[in-house]
Structure 1
C-alpha cells in the first residue's frame, strides 16, 4: 500500500478561525497560490503537493502534524 497525506479539515477550520483567514480567498492570498488550487485540495479533488503544504503551514503558522495525517491511500475519501 501507498501512504499519502490527508488534510485534517476540522483542524484546518479551527486554525483558520484563530488566525482570521476565514475565506478561501484570504487563505489562498496568504499562501500565495491560486484560489482554484486551494479549492480543489479542500474538496479532495487534488492531492496537495509539497509547495502547497509548505505554504499552508507557513500561512497558518501551524505545525505539519496539526494539519495533515498519514493514511493508506485506500483510506483517502
Structure 2
C-alpha cells in the first residue's frame, strides 16, 4: 500500500511563528517554495512533496520530520480532501501557468522546480 504524508498544521504554524517568520511569503522564501504551495499543503489540497518537506526541515530547524509531518498508509489521511486533477493525464498539478512537456518514455512531467519532475501520468 502506498504511504501518504500530511502536514501537522498546528505544529507547523507554531514552529514558523517561533522561528520569526512574520508571513507566509517570508516562510516560503526560506523554504524555497512558492507561497501558494504553503497554502495548498496547509489546506490539504496538496500533499507535501520532497522540496516542501526538505524546505520545512531546513527553515524550521531544529524541528524534525515527526514534529511537522505524519505518515499514514493506504487511504488518504482523515480530513485530507482529494486533489482534483486539473490537467488531463496528470495525477496532480503543481505547475505555474506555463505549459509543460511530458517525457512519454518515463511518463514523468518536467514541470517541477529547476527541471525536476513533479508528477506522473495516470
Structure 2: 5+ residue stretches without partners = 80-122
Secondary structure in structure 2 of the residue aligned to 1:70: strand
Residue number in structure 1 paired with 2:78: 76
Residue number in structure 2 paired with 1:7: 7
List aligned pairs for 1:1-77, cutoff 5 A.
1-61=1-61, 62-72=63-73, 73-77=75-79
Task: Please tell me the root mean square deviation across aligned C-alpha atoms, in Å.
Answer: 1.5
Distance in 2 (alpha carbons) for counterparts of 1:20 and 1:75 = 30
Distance in 2 (alpha carbons) for counterparts of 1:12 and 1:66 = 8
TM-score with structure 1 setting the length:
0.86
Contact between 1:6 and 1:76, CA under 8 Å: does it hold in 2?
no
TM-score with structure 2 setting the length:
0.57
- Greater C-alpha Rg: 2
Structure 1: 5+ residue stretches without partners = none
Higher relative helix content: 1
Give structure 1 regions of 4+ aligned residues with deviation exceeding 3 angstroms: none
Distance in 2 (alpha carbons) for counterparts of 1:75 and 1:37 = 19
